[in-house]
Chains A and B, each alone.
Chain A
Amino acid sequence: MKLADGLFLESCREVAKKYPSINYNEIIVDNCCMQLVAKPEQFDVMVTPNLYGNLVANTAAGIAGGTGVMPGGNVGAEYAIFEQGASAGNVGNEKLIEQKKANPVALLLSSAMMLRHLQFPSFADRLETAVKQVISEGKHRTKDLGGDSTTQEVVDAVIAVLD
Chain B
Amino acid sequence: MASQIARRVLRNRSLERVLPIRNLCSDASSNNPIRATLFPGDGIGPEIAESVKKVLTTAEVPIEWEEHFVGTKVDPRTQSFLTSESLESVRRNRVGLKGPMATPIGKGHRSLNLTLRKELGLYANVRPCYSLSGYKTRYDDVNLVTIRENTEGEYSGLEHQVVRGVVESLKIITRTASLRVAEYAFHYARANGRERVSAIHKANIMRKTDGLFLECCREVAAKYPDITYEEVIIDNCCMMLVKNPALFDVLVMPNLYGDIISDLCAGLVGGLGLTPSCNIGEDGIALAEAVHGSAPDIAGKNLANPTALLLSAVMMLRHLKLNDKAEMIHNAITKTIAEGKYRTADLGGSSTTTDFTKAICDNL
Q: Is the CB of B169 within 8 A of A62?
A: no
Chain A: residues with Cβ within 8 Å of the partner, total of: 31
Given contacts A1-B159, A4-B159, A30-B260, contact A38 B267 (CB under 8 A): yes
Judge if A67 is at the interface, Cβ distance under 8 Å: yes
Given contacts A3-B159, A62-B241, A67-B239, contact A33 B267 (CB under 8 A): yes
0/1 per residue, B232-274, Cβ < 8 Å to A? 0111101111110000000000001001111110111001100
0/1 per residue, A24-67, Cβ < 8 Å to B? 00000111011111100000000000011011011101110011
Chain B's interface: helix, strand, loop or mixed, by majority? Answer: helix
Judge if B20 is at the interface, Cβ distance under 8 Å: no
Which stretch (B64-72, B85-93, B160-168) binds chain A?
A: B160-168
Question: CB within 8 A of B167: which of A4, A29, A87?
Answer: A4
Q: Is the CB of B271 within 8 A of A38?
A: yes
Question: CB within 8 A of B263: which of A34, A51, A61?
Answer: A34
Question: CB within 8 A of B169: which of A1, A31, A55?
Answer: A1
Which chain A residues lie closer than 8 Å to B272 at the CB level?
A: 34
Judge if A20 is at the interface, Cβ distance under 8 Å: no
Judge if B283 is at the interface, Cβ distance under 8 Å: no
Which chain B residues lie closer than 8 Å to A162 at the CB level?
A: none
Judge if A88 is at the interface, Cβ distance under 8 Å: yes
**Beta-carbon contacts under 8 Å, A80-125 to B:** 86-89
Q: Is the CB of B271 within 8 A of A34?
A: yes
Q: Is the CB of B242 within 8 A of A62?
A: yes
Judge if A18 is at the interface, Cβ distance under 8 Å: no
Q: Is the CB of B154 within 8 A of A59?
A: no
Q: How far is the CB of B232 from chain A (nearest CB, A)?
A: 10
Which chain A residues lie closer than 8 Å to B168 at the CB level?
A: 4
Q: Is the CB of B267 within 8 A of A62?
A: no
Q: Is the CB of B160 within 8 A of A55?
A: no
Q: How far is the CB of B290 from chain A (nearest CB, A)?
A: 15
Judge if B137 is at the interface, Cβ distance under 8 Å: yes
Which chain B residues lie closer than 8 Å to A1 at the CB level?
A: 154-155, 159, 169
Q: How far is the CB of B289 from chain A (nearest CB, A)?
A: 16
In the complex, what residue of chain B is closest to A30 when comparing beta carbons? Answer: B263
A52 to B238, CA, bound (A): 11
A18 to B242, CA, bound (A): 36
Q: How far is the CB of B325 from chain A (nearest CB, A)?
A: 31
Judge if A7 is at the interface, Cβ distance under 8 Å: yes
**Beta-carbon contacts under 8 Å, B187-243 to A:** 202, 233-236, 238-243
A86 to B202, CA, bound (A): 15
Which chain B residues lie closer than 8 Å to A63 at the CB level?
A: 242
Q: How far is the CB of A90 from chain B (nearest CB, A)?
A: 10
Q: Is the CB of A66 within 8 A of B239?
A: yes
Q: Is the CB of B243 within 8 A of A62?
A: yes
Q: Is the CB of B267 within 8 A of A58?
A: no
Given contacts A30-B263, A55-B260, contact A88 B154 (CB under 8 A): no
Q: Is the CB of A29 within 8 A of B271?
A: no
Given contacts A1-B159, A1-B169, A66-B243, contact A34 B266 (CB under 8 A): yes
Q: Is the CB of A55 within 8 A of B234?
A: yes
0/1 per residue, B159-189, Cβ < 8 Å to A? 1110001011100000000000000000000
In the complex, what residue of chain A is closest to B259 when comparing beta carbons? Answer: A30
Q: Is the CB of A86 within 8 A of B264?
A: no
Q: Is the CB of A37 within 8 A of B264?
A: yes
Q: How far is the CB of B154 from chain A (nearest CB, A)?
A: 7
A35 to B267, CA, bound (A): 7
**Beta-carbon contacts under 8 Å, A10-31 to B:** 29-31
Which chain A residues lie closer than 8 Å to B159 at the CB level?
A: 1-4
Q: Is the CB of B235 within 8 A of A86?
A: yes
Which chain B residues lie closer than 8 Å to A38 at the CB level?
A: 137, 267, 271
Given contacts A58-B239, A66-B243, A67-B239, contact A3 B260 (CB under 8 A): no
Which chain B residues lie closer than 8 Å to A4 at the CB level?
A: 159, 167-169
Question: CB within 8 A of A3: which of B160, B238, B242?
Answer: B160
Q: Is the CB of A59 within 8 A of B167?
A: no
Which chain A residues lie closer than 8 Å to B154 at the CB level?
A: 1
- Complex A-B, nearest 8 residue pairs according to Cβ-Cβ distance, in ascending order: A62-B242, A34-B267, A37-B267, A30-B263, A3-B159, A33-B264, A4-B169, A58-B235
| Sample of 20 further A-B pairs with CB below 8 A, known A34-B272, A58-B238 | A1-B169, A2-B159, A3-B159, A3-B161, A4-B169, A7-B165, A7-B167, A30-B263, A31-B263, A33-B267, A34-B266, A34-B267, A55-B234, A59-B241, A59-B264, A61-B239, A62-B241, A62-B242, A87-B235, A89-B239
